[in-house]
Structure 1
C-alpha cells in the first residue's frame, strides 16, 4: 500500500529531481498539485437533485461530505502541500458534488473507520475503492462507477498475452499471499492441472523493489494484482505493461461504488448524477486523468448484484 509517508516521499523525490529523467517525465503526466486545475467539473443536475429523498439528511448544510482512505494513488493520496487529498476518487466525488449542487469536502479516514462513519451520518458517502458485496448491501446502498479489475503486468518487452486460465500454464507468476487474486490464481492453476497443463510457479515477495526486479530481470514472467495500482505504476515508470485483465470477482462481475448509508435516500440521486456524467463524457475524462480508462463502466447502477458471501 502507498502510505502517506511513501506518497510524500515519492512526491518529494519527483519535485527535487532525485528521480531519473525518464521516470520524472512520466510523473509529470500526473498532476499532484493541490490546486488540481485539470480536475473535471460538472454542471448542476436538477433531475439528480429531485431524486434526493425528502427526508434525506446531509452531514453538513450545502456540503457533500465524503470519506476517503487517502493512502494510495491513483485512488487517493496527498498533494505536494502534504495535506490536500487528490486522485481519481476525489475527482469522482467532485463530479457528484457538483451535480448535486453541493460543495465537496473530502475527509481522510482509515479503512476500518468509514463504515461506522457512514452509518452514523458523520459522512454522506465513502468514495474509496469500495467493492459492492452482498454482505455490505445489508448496511449500505451503492451507486457503481468503476469496474473492479485485476491485471497481469509483465516486462514491457515481454509478448505474453493472458486472456484465460490456460494462458498462465507454466508461467512464473508473482502474487500477494492471502489476497483475492491469489485465490483466483489458485483456482486457475487447479483447473489447468486437471486439464493436463503445466502448473503455475507461484512467487511471493514482501518487498516491492525485489518484486519488480524479478519482473525486469526475467526471473518472473508476470505480476498479478489490482489493475488500477499496477497500471498507475506502469504509466509512471514505463517498465511494465498490461498483459491481460479480468474481474476482481472472477468469474463474477465486481464493481466499485459510491457507498451511502442504507435507506439514506441518496443512492438514486448519485446514480443519476453519475449516468449524466457518463453520457456527457466528463466521467471518461476523469478516469483518463489517472490512467483508469480500462475500468470505465457503461452505466451506473443502484445496488446491483454484489460479490457473494464466502
Structure 2
C-alpha cells in the first residue's frame, strides 16, 4: 500500500532505492542517484486552509491535545519513506497527513511502524489514525473506519526481461514464488485467492513469501529468492524506475483498483471529522499539488462523494 519536506538527493535517496529494489549504488546508471530524478524531488504544495466545519467535529480530547498521531510504514516510496536525516517520514502520505492536520487545525506526528502492526495499533489507540496506503477491504472494514483519498490497483514486479513470462493472472503464477509485505491485502487476500485458483485447476499452488517490510520483499526479488513481488501498482512502478534495470512490471499492472484510505478505530468519534476534512482536501488545490509533486496519475484521484465509502457515519 502510505507518505514534509521537499525531497532532495542524498542518503535518503540511496536508502529509498535499496528499500524499493534492493539495489546498491553501483547498480544505478553511472553509480549516481542523480541519474534517476524522482517525482517529489521538487514541487511546492499549496497550504491547506483550516476547515472550521471539520475542526468543530473533532472529539474534545483530540482538540485539546492538538496533535494527530499517525502510524505509517516508511518503506514504500513514493508514499512514505525516510528523508535524508533517516528519521523524518516524508512522501505523498506524509504531505497529505500534514494537509489533513492543517485542515483540522492539528499538528501531525508521523510514527514509523511495520505495516502489519499499524491497524492493531489504531484499534488499541496507540495511533489516532493509520496513513500508509491501506486498501479499503471488506475484511478491514469489520474492525476499522476509513476515509478514502485515492483508488489504486496492484502491480507485479518481476526480474528485468520477465524471464518466466509472468503476468498478474493466477494461472500465470501457479508453482512460482511470489513475495509480498506482511499485512497487505495483496499478501493476505489476493495471493491466497490466486493460489486457490491454481489448486482448483489441478495446478501447483503459489509459494507465497511474505516479508516484514516492502524493502525486504523487493530485496528478495533482486536477489532471486522470489520470482515476483505483488504490491500497489504505483509504488512498484516507482520502484522499477529506480531499480537500475533490476526489475520491471509484468503485464496486468493496475489490477483490481481498490479504494485507499485513512484508517481509524471502528466507530471512532474522530471519523466524522477526518471524513469531512478529507472531503474538503480532495476538492482542493492542495490535493492536486501533492499528486503533481509525486507524479501521481489523475486516474487514482477520488471525488468528495467517494471519501466516506469506508466510514461509519
- 1:33-52 matches, cutoff 5 A: 38-39=44-45, 41-50=47-56, 52=57
Q: How do residues 216-227 of structure 1 correspond to structure 2 at under 5 angstroms? A: 224-227=230-233
Give the structure with the higher percent helix.
2
Which of 13, 25, 28 pairs up with 1:20? 28
Q: Is the 8 A contact 1:48 1:100 kept in 2?
A: yes
| 1:9 Cα deviation from its structure 2 partner | 8.5
Distance 1:139 1:24 in 2: 41
**Does 1:127 pair with 2:137?**
no
Whether the 8 Å contact between 1:131 and 1:254 is mirrored in structure 2 is yes
Q: Offset of 1:97 from its aligned partner?
A: 0.9
Runs of at least 5 residues in structure 2 that lack an aligned partner in the other structure: 2-10, 19-23, 212-216
Partner residue of 1:244 out of 247, 252, 265: 252
Unmatched segments (≥5 aa) in structure 1: 2-6, 215-219
Which residue of structure 2 aligns with residue 4 of structure 1? none
Moved more, 77-86 or 258-267: 258-267
SS in 2 for 1:74: coil
- Is the aligned partner of 1:71 residue 2:79? no
Q: Contact conserved, 1:67 with 1:123, CA < 8 A, in 2?
A: yes
Residue-by-residue CA offset, 1:49-89 (whole Å, 9 max, x unaligned): 24x15x44318632222122223323322111111111222
> 1:118 pairs with 122, 127, 145, which one?
122
Mapped pair 1:104 → 2:108: yes
User: d(CA) in 1 for partners of 2:157 and 2:25?
Assistant: 27
**Greater displacement, 100-109 / 272-281:** 272-281
Question: What is the number of residues matched between the two proteins?
Answer: 280
8 Å CA contact 2:178, 2:208 repeated in 1 = yes
Does 2:195 align with 1:186? yes
Q: Per-residue deviation at 1:296?
A: 1.7
Q: Quote the offset at 1:213 in angstroms.
A: 7.7
Question: Are residues 292 and 238 of structure 1, via their aligned partners in 2, closer, same or farther at CA, if it must alter by over 3 Å?
Answer: farther
What is the TM-score when the length of structure 2 is the normalising length? 0.66
Structure number with larger C-alpha Rg: 1
Contact 1:231–1:242, Cα closer than 8 Å, also in 2: no
| Residue-by-residue CA offset, 1:146-167 (whole Å, 9 max, x unaligned) | 2342114467778x996877xx
Shift, 1:40, TM fit: 5.0
CA shift in 2, pair 1:171/1:164, >3 Å:
closer
| Alignment match of 2:308 (pick from 287, 299, 302) | 302
User: 2:21 — aligned with what?
Assistant: none
**Mapped contact 1:59–1:122 kept (Cα < 8 A):** no
**In 1: Cα distance, 2:79 partner to 2:161 partner:** 27
Q: 2:95 aligns with which of 91, 94, 103?
A: 91
CA distance in 2, matches of 1:295, 1:190: 34
User: Does the C-alpha gap of structure 1 residues 60 and 27 become closer, same or farther in structure 2, counting only changes over 3 Å?
Assistant: farther
Counterpart of 1:217? none
How far is 1:20 from its partner? 3.5
Match for residue 235 of structure 1 among 236, 241, 248:
241
